[in-house]
């Protein structure tokens, strides 16, 4: 069988990717799930995994070549195939391939903005059916932190990701800048969308926001998924928080961001530029300082919400090598706990497939 290996689509906004390096060469055996090449997008670098087993017979994309989503990267053959048969498959593919990336971007779902309680909130709403899932990002993040999770999870239910106040394209001004204020913004968005009850998933500080919402309005939270969550212990990497908050150029920011990942190569120049662009927006500097002081004053977490875990069905996911919040905070929780070996703080990006699988199984088991 002749398989075509194509440029994947990671997240709704991805229209193209740049081939970085091939990890396999023509003639090499490729197993299903094995990494074949590295691709860089305007958001992140990641490896393309083979969806099938066989021998890599042709490489059609060169290193440093930028290609649209769906473009042909290589040919993997399972069993036998002549060169002429491979040529014919390539010819048919290329003749039928029309890059629809621009059309898809124009017609596909896009983030919306709404004024809720006098504050602008940006959110992205995908999928339909089931009890909806709401995704809450962490400190300094935005809804793109769920880039590799949102579309996959939305295949089974309605999934909404938002930019918290002070972040992304939501309003930057905070009042108290505490957990109550952020959780109230999440609940206000649910009111706007007329959602009485949802599953909540939070990463890092977003986990603390989800816990706060669950404590204040337990009847509205069907389950909790906490990924590398704050609010479950006192320890946190205060140097990272301070360094990230203060960083105002690439050289200062890069050493901070590499601490978030198990693979430092994932911190691309584009990621640094995007983050600096956000940090230079009016009001962001003040918002980050406010949040850091409220949540993590003196490099210690100020809130302990361990007792909230388990009041709803709870799933806790952590990277074993998290350099920001230690995975040991997951110990002793009344929850399904999954520690992913070798992963860092941004585990939902680096181990997206595994995280999506764990979340989907957990959510589908809820009544």
Mean pLDDT of each 10-residue bin along the chain, 367 residues long: 91 83 96 93 85 95 90 95 94 73 50 90 95 98 94 94 96 95 97 97 98 98 98 97 95 96 89 92 95 95 97 98 98 98 96 95 95
pLDDT of residue 43: 76
CA gyration radius for the chain?
A: 21
Could you give the 3-state DSSP secondary structure of residue 337?
strand
- Residue ranges of domains in the chain: 2-105, 109-364
Pick the CATH number of 2-105 from 3.20.10.10, 2.60.130.10, 2.40.50.100, 3.40.50.800: 2.40.50.100
Helices (H) and strands (E) in the chain, counts: 11, 16
The angle, 0 to 180 degrees and rounded to 10, between the axes of the packed helices 269-279 and 284-296 is 90
* Token representation of residue 67: 């290609």
Could you give the 3-state DSSP secondary structure of residue 301?
coil
* Token representation of residue 312: 């709803």
Q: What angle do CA 212, 342, 42 make, to 5 degrees?
A: 75
Q: What is the pTM of this model?
A: 0.77
pLDDT of residue 101: 43
CATH class of 109-364: alpha beta
């Amino acid at each position: 069988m002749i398989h075509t290996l194509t440029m994947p689509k990671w997240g709704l906004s991805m229209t193209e990717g740049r081939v970085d390096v091939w990890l396999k060469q023509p003639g090499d055996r490729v197993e299903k799930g094995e990494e074949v090449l590295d691709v860089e997008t305007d958001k992140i670098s990641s490896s393309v995994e083979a969806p099938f087993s066989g021998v890599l017979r042709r490489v059609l994309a060169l290193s440093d070549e930028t290609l649209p989503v769906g473009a042909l990267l290589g040919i993997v053959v399972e069993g036998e195939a002549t060169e002429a048969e491979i040529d014919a498959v390539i010819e048919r593919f290329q003749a039928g391939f029309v890059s629809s990336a621009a059309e898809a971007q124009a017609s596909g779902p896009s983030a919306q903005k709404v004024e809720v309680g006098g504050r602008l909130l940006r959110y992205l709403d995908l999928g339909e059916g089931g009890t909806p899932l709401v995704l809450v990002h962490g400190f300094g993040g935005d809804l793109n932190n769920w880039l590799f999770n949102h579309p996959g999870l939305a295949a089974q239910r309605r999934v909404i990701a938002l930019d918290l106040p002070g972040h992304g394209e939501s309003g930057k001004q905070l009042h108290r800048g505490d957990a109550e204020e952020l959780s109230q913004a999440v609940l206000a968005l649910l009111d706007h969308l007329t959602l009485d009850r949802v599953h909540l998933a939070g990463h890092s500080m977003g986990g603390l926001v989800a816990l706060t919402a669950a404590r204040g309005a337990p009847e509205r939270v069907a389950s909790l998924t906490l990924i590398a969550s704050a609010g479950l212990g006192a320890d946190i990497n205060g140097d990272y928080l301070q360094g990230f908050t203060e960083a105002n150029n690439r050289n200062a920011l890069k050493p901070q961001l590499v601490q978030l990942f198990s693979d430092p190569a994932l911190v691309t120049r584009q990621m640094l530029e995007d983050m600096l662009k956000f940090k230079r927006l009016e009001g962001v500097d003040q918002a980050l300082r406010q949040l850091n002081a409220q949540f993590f004053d003196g490099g210690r977490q100020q809130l302990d919400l361990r007792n909230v875990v388990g009041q709803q069905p709870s799933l806790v996911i952590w990277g074993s090598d998290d350099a920001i919040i230690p995975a040991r905070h997951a110990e002793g929780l009344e929850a399904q706990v999954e520690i992913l070996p070798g992963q860092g703080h941004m585990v939902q990006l680096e181990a997206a497939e595994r995280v999506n699988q764990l979340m989907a199984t957990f959510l589908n088991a809820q009544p």
